[in-house]
Amino acid sequence: MNLVRTWRIMQKELRMGPRSPIFLYAVLLPIVLTFIINGVFGSLFEPTPRLGIVDEGDSAIVAEAKQLDGIHVTEPPDATTLRKMVESNDLDAGLVLQPGFDGAVRNGQMPVLQFYVGGESLASNRIILSVAAVDMVRQVAGEPAPVTVDVVTIGDPEALPIASRLLPMLMIYAVFVAGAFVPASSVVEEKEKGTISALLVSPATVYEFLAAKVGVGVVLATLTGVVTLALNNALGGHAVALVLVLLTASVMMAEIGVMLGSWAKDLNTLFATVKGGAILIFYPVIFYIWPSLPQWIPKLSPTYYFLQPIFEIGIRDASLGDVWGEVVVALATVVVLVPFVLIMARRLQRKVAVGV
């Protein structure tokens, strides 16, 4: 295989790519999804801390809270409703003020201040609301707060915000559409237009042709993946490790893409195959959104072995050494797919030779 010819074919693909709607779709989709998800669930546009207060007496703290800048205050009708709102993540935190709370504070009786925090709320919002609650009590007391703050975390304290749990979904879109679907559709289009026949009349071989398609998929998927991670503040302190995992994921997807493109007779067949078979590639993301589901099921998909390292490194700040087992499996999958790519290349060459 001549690397110079492969590089020239790849350069042509990269120059012509932006003219293709599928190419632009691959680049823009994960970015648009990132803005939508983070705009709704929080991390890119930092949400306002949401505080609920149930005043069972006539506390001045409610009025103080409403005057605070940057905090949204809600007054649920009772403590039960407040607890449910915090548990469902409709509020970041909640206060329950007992009857006679202000008077007890001023008399130095140290009443209990019931303070609920949501397990899925942002840590920054919890800190803001905790400090705000203590400061409001100090204002009522006129001195350092003579209270015991009883902090009750509702839900799993280890649970991640939903925006973080959706990162694997964004990443699978980034690497699959850019790494697999773009090369697959490009190969099919060249077959339909007959340009592949003209190309293979030249010194270029079908192996160089498919290698160039893989190269385009790897470059596009890696760049799109890095941009998606950056927009989600998930590059962290292990950017090099994330890029290495992304490269592995991109090669895997590009191999799948050129095999699909070599097999599919037209774009309709390709689209139907992707619609029907993509579940095998996409389904592991469900187990990040709902981590209570059995975690052995996603391990049956090859995409788990790059999604898990990306999730652990980007979200949980793990190192490459912490996820080396999954990365090895992903690399092994890339190697195992090579013979199948070569088989599909020979099949494509035969079909082009007979004009099919």
Q: What is the pLDDT of residues 264-277, one digit of tens each?
A: 888 888 888 888 88
Q: What is the pLDDT of residues 54-76, one digit of tens each?
A: 988 888 888 888 888 778 888 99
> Which strands, in side-by-side order, build the sheet including 50-55?
72-74, 50-55, 93-97, 112-118, 148-154
pTM of the predicted model as reported, rounded to 2 decimal places: 0.68
For residue 183, give the nearest of 229, 137, 214 by alpha carbon: 214
> 24 falls in which pLDDT band (50, 70, 90)?
confident
Domain 50-154 sits in CATH at 3.40.1710.10
Q: What is the pLDDT of residues 39-50, one digit of tens each?
A: 666 555 456 788
What pLDDT score does 339 carry? 94
What pLDDT score does 355 carry? 59
188-207: average pLDDT? 78
What pLDDT score does 323 carry? 92
Can you tell me the distance from the alpha carbon of 321 to that of 299, in angstroms, rounded to the nearest whole number?
19
77-92: average pLDDT? 89
| Mean pLDDT over each residue of the chain, to the nearest integer | 83
Check pLDDT > 60 for residue 223.
Answer: yes
DSSP string, 20-51: SHHHHHHHHHHHHHHHHHHHHHSSSSPPPPEE
Q: Token pair for residue 168?
A: 């694997």
Share of the chain above pLDDT 90, in %: 25
Pairwise pLDDT comparison (233 vs 309), residue with the higher score = 309
For residue 177, give the nearest of 302, 263, 281, 264 by alpha carbon: 281
What pLDDT score does 145 carry? 47
DSSP string, 230-283: HHTT--TT-HHHHHHHHHHHHHHHHHHHHHHHHH-SSHHHHHHHHHHHTHHHHG
Neighbours of 120 (CB within 10 A): 22
Q: Token pair for residue 197?
A: 């026949």
Sorted by where each begins, the domain ranges of the chain are 3-40+162-353, 50-154
The DSSP secondary-structure symbol of 78 reads: S
Check pLDDT > 90 for residue 337.
Answer: yes
